[in-house]
Structure 1
Amino acid sequence: MMQRLSLIALALLVSSCMVGPDFESPEPDMPAEFYSSTENAQGGGRTLEELAWWELFQDPQLQSLIDTALKNNLDVKGALVAVETARARYGIERSNLFPTVDLFLGSERENSSLLTDGNDSISNTQELRFNIAWEVDLWGARRRANEAANAIYLSSSYALVGTQLSLISEVADTYIGILAAKGRLQIRENTVFARERALVIADKRFQGGLTSKLEVQQSRVELAEARAGIVDIEQDIFQLQSRLSILLGEEPQAFGITSSLLDQELPEGLVAGVPVSILKNRPDMMQAEQALQEATARLGIAKAAYYPRLNITGELGFETEEFSDLLDSDGQKWLVGGELLTPLFNAGRIRAEDKIAQLALEQAGLDYQQTLLDSLNEVSVALNRYHLSQRRLSEREVLEEASRAYLILAIKRYRNGVLAYIDVLDAQRKLLDAELSVNESKEIQLKSVVELYRALGGGWQPEDVPVDITAADMAGL
């Protein structure tokens, strides 16, 4: 009995077909290079898609923080749960390809009614049987459902990569923000120290009759102004460290960060690569492709609803009066049955579901195109910001050097009686603004690299995502 059913199942599965379109990975037209790219003029170098995060972010403290975040961040853990859930749901869909077999063991004792049966007797029935049921996948609806479930599983895997990528970028961005805030704090503290000394000098000059009380008051105003800015920076540092704690999945705390912005080094000759690389490197592009594959599979399911369904049932077991004879060959019984169900009238429901599936596929295609356009735009904007940040930093460094030279000259001329003290204060303000501008420009440059890294897909590789479970689990069918 079981051999016959197996042969029937195999013959039906081999001879069955799959209706609906087969998925083909889209190959959109791509530009030759990113808008605002200057790589051709600058020469080649390592592309960001080739770099793992620990190669790009070389600060040991930052690497340690990112590693901790990837292990403990709650969003990442939630994404992992979503992946496992999608894999389990795939297991449910895959099980529908195979027959269900249930074991039935029953015992019954019956006393017939003398009034109705005419025989006041007691009978025993013992039964052991296997119940078999199977819906043959004649038109591929079950296999299409497997394809859809597999696409959902892969999409959740790419979503996990996207969550990890966003986390890496956020940790790096927050870390750079802390370094920049600490840099501003150091500049302010140095300014306070310098103005404290200036106030002492101004007071001595006033006591010696070399200057007026106005100069002393000007020095006090400048000192108070420098001190007032420190509180706001300390508040920024506190908030950034609290944010970093959350990203690491920990309670708010202070971090003993000893690095500075100037310690941050980047690999030489970074380039963005070619636009087509984002098709395989950006997790959201891979998710959009899987959504397209899922919609294609669901259209196949809708198409299969037009055709008949074949259900096969069977029983194989033993039935006897005495339990001791339950496995006696004379008590063997079996049954094989089948039913063919074909849709005749459903008030247009199947046609409507088919239309919905077609529209869903069209929408998935539009979403894919929009994701591609958004990706190209993000990379182009990030590239432009990265190139401009390098120019900005170089220009601000020149300004800082000139401002420092100007202050030294102003102090000398003031001591020689050529300039008024107000000119020295003006030179000090210019230097302070220039130092803060360099600090800000360095922060912008580093954050622009983080933004570009994220926009290009973050250096992950396809092998970082779990294998296509359809290819693995369907290999034996």
Structure 2
Amino acid sequence: MEQEIAILFFLLKNALARAFRPQCLSVYLFFLLSACAPVGPDFLKSELASQNQWLESSEQGLEPVPADVSLWWQVFNDPVLNELVESARANNNNLEIAGLRVLESRAQLGIAIGTLYPQSQRINGNATHLSPPDSSGPTSNYWQYGLNFSLGWEVDFWGRFRRGIEASDAAFMGSLAAYDQALLLLTAQVVDTYTVIRATEEQLRISRENITLQKRSYDITEVLYRNGQDSGLDMQQANSLLLSTQSTIPTLESALKQARNALSVLLGQAPGSVNALLARAKDPNIIPLIPTDIAVGFPADMLRRRPDVRQAELQAMAQNALVGLAEADLYPSFSLIGSIGLTAGGPIDDDFDNLFDSDAITYSIGPSFSWPFLSYGRIRNNIRVQDARLQQALINYRETVLQAAREAEDAMAAFNGSTQQSVLLKKTVASSKRSNELAMLRFREGFSDYQRVLDSQQALFSQQQRYVTSQSDKVRNLIALYKALGGGWEDRRGLPMISPQTKETMEQRTNWGELLDGAYSPSDNADKQGGIPRPDW
């Protein structure tokens, strides 16, 4: 058998030598090497129009100096929060779906690269036993044998396949930007939800503290009423205020449970799974503390950093390539078609060994072209469709840049406003506490009625709630600012895009080659010097 295979390769070699004679080789090379520049528009990278400075002043601690916001949540110096963010990044389901979309885009890029090589190649073999009719001449049955290799290669004369690779590569890079955006949003969601939990816990603490205070006041009015020293009005008013404050507890407890459940889901866990981790904090009721000085960089840094801006640009780049791909349909396509094979058998001699004789070789090779010149407007209108989509993508990119700038300015304005409000409310709480102490003292000494005590206690509870809300809003506005600045994704190169369990499952189901290990890196397959990219096996 080994001898027969060696003979087969020897015969194929001789046949190819005869097929590619010098007079034919020049024709073949003409088709292979005469590809022109890809038709269609080349993408022109837009310059990002941005201001030199932020509109908001730096009076509230926002410093316009170069900023590293890749790990921005660590400015709160909260170990529990840091652990929650790391757990969410490793286990969040939506983030893993974004990672799988990157793998999908990478495989699509491999398909596009494959179109640049011979699009049709096939090996055929047959062994057929024939029984001819008596009227055909031969009166005995016989065998026919055949072994054939055929190939068809459409030359990328107008850049159709190169435009397809360009579009797929931009789509792949866009999926990476989408993953970065998902990582950015996840990080902000985790920190924001954690802030809501701590603020709600603080609200509960304040409610219980005021219930204790109001209960003492109610007990005093009850004693005075029973001793006949006061009417029942003061006792009923004190009881009404106490019940009103107690009614806030169930609502706050429900909100706290819902926030904890939401945080559990963000971490890819069942509701209630984070309670033990949250309880490990030194002071569970402390809202994350904000540093004194916060570096926010410059507007141009923000636009270069934001993944959604980069994704919008890559979407426009991919659509630009699709315009060229559609335009290539206007022109004829040129191909090289060839086959080489061995044929043996017949009514005279149907010995299988004849298949490997030199006389058994058959081959054909030559160019061909196809030109759908009567498309009745289909091709031209498809180009118009793609061009309209390109213009939409370009305008969407411009809108994304504007929205990014607006979000950053809005977040700064909100942060400055909540900071100023928090300072005032802190003074208000201190004044309300003193007012309540004085009102209670004057009531006990008989210098004022109980209405002053009711008003002061009601005002104290209200101002304390407002102060906690303003503290929470201040932190949440800073979170929105970091999100608007595009922070929280730069360190993703060390993160796996899919979990080890998912990777193992996919490897057992499908041959993924090395894509599961390196799909999160930009493709190095496309030759920057204009060469032919390597097939992605």
- Normalising by structure 2, we get a TM-score of 0.81
Aligned: 1:374 with 2:403: yes
What residue identity is the alignment partner of 1:26? Answer: S
Instruction: Summarize the alignment of residues 271-310 of structure 1 with structure 2, pairs less than 5 Å apart.
Output: 271-310=295-334
- Whether the 8 Å contact between 1:390 and 1:445 is mirrored in structure 2 is yes
What residue identity is the alignment partner of 1:414? Answer: F
Distance 1:70 1:352, change over 3 A: same
- Whether the 8 Å contact between 1:127 and 1:318 is mirrored in structure 2 is yes
- Whether the 8 Å contact between 2:74 and 2:82 is mirrored in structure 1 is no
Q: Which residue pairs with 1:27 in the alignment?
A: 47
Q: Distance in 1 between matches of 2:412 and 2:270?
A: 35
SS at match of 2:134: coil
Distance 1:46 1:28, change over 3 A: closer
- Whether the 8 Å contact between 2:125 and 2:148 is mirrored in structure 1 is yes
Distance 1:261 1:206, change over 3 A: same
Q: Cα distance, 1:270 vs. partner?
A: 1.5
- Which shifted more, 236-245 or 290-299? 236-245
**Match among 363, 378, 384 for residue 334 of structure 1:** 363
Aligned: 1:355 with 2:408: no
Gaps of 5+ in 1: none
Q: Cα distance, 1:364 vs. partner?
A: 1.2
Q: Which residue pairs with 2:98 in the alignment?
A: 79
Aligned: 1:467 with 2:486: no
Distance 1:399 1:83, change over 3 A: same
Instruction: Summarize the alignment of residues 371-450 of structure 1 with structure 2, pairs less than 5 Å apart.
Output: 371-450=400-479
SS at match of 1:262: coil
After superposition, what is the alpha-carbon deviation per residue over 1:72-110, rounded to whole angstroms, capped at 9, x for unaligned?
Answer: 322222222222222222221111110132222221222
Q: Cα distance, 1:188 vs. partner?
A: 0.6
- Whether the 8 Å contact between 1:403 and 1:427 is mirrored in structure 2 is yes
Q: Distance in 1 between matches of 2:103 and 2:465?
A: 48
RMSD across aligned positions (CA): 2.7
Q: Distance in 2 between matches of 1:394 and 1:448?
A: 15
Q: Cα distance, 1:144 vs. partner?
A: 0.3
Q: Cα distance, 1:268 vs. partner?
A: 4.3
Q: Cα distance, 1:153 vs. partner?
A: 1.6
After superposition, what is the alpha-carbon deviation per residue over 1:436-475, rounded to whole angstroms, capped at 9, x for unaligned?
Answer: 1110001101110111111221232397493332x42446
SS at match of 1:324: helix
- Which shifted more, 310-319 or 325-334? 325-334
What residue identity is the alignment partner of 2:45? Answer: S
**Match among 242, 246, 249 for residue 230 of structure 1:** 249
Q: Cα distance, 1:343 vs. partner?
A: 3.6
Instruction: Summarize the alignment of residues 146-157 of structure 1 with structure 2, pairs less than 5 Å apart.
Output: 146-157=165-176
Q: Which residue pairs with 1:171 in the alignment?
A: 190
Aligned: 1:118 with 2:118: no
- Whether the 8 Å contact between 2:60 and 2:419 is mirrored in structure 1 is no
Q: Distance in 2 between matches of 1:77 and 1:43?
A: 34
SS at match of 1:219: helix
Q: Distance in 1 between matches of 2:437 and 2:44?
A: 69
Q: Distance in 1 between matches of 2:46 and 2:336?
A: 39
Instruction: Summarize the alignment of residues 118-137 of structure 1 with structure 2, pairs less than 5 Å apart.
Output: 118-137=137-156
Q: Cα distance, 1:289 vs. partner?
A: 0.5
What residue identity is the alignment partner of 1:370? Answer: E
Q: Which residue pairs with 1:239 in the alignment?
A: 258
Q: Cα distance, 1:141 vs. partner?
A: 0.6
What residue identity is the alignment partner of 1:304? Answer: A
Q: Cα distance, 1:303 vs. partner?
A: 2.0
Paired residues in the alignment total 474
What residue identity is the alignment partner of 2:388? Answer: L
What residue identity is the alignment partner of 1:192? Answer: I
Gaps of 5+ in 2: 1-15, 346-350, 494-518, 533-537
**Match among 266, 272, 290 for residue 290 of structure 2:** 266
Aligned: 1:182 with 2:234: no
Q: Distance in 2 between matches of 1:134 and 1:52?
A: 51
What residue identity is the alignment partner of 2:272? Answer: Q
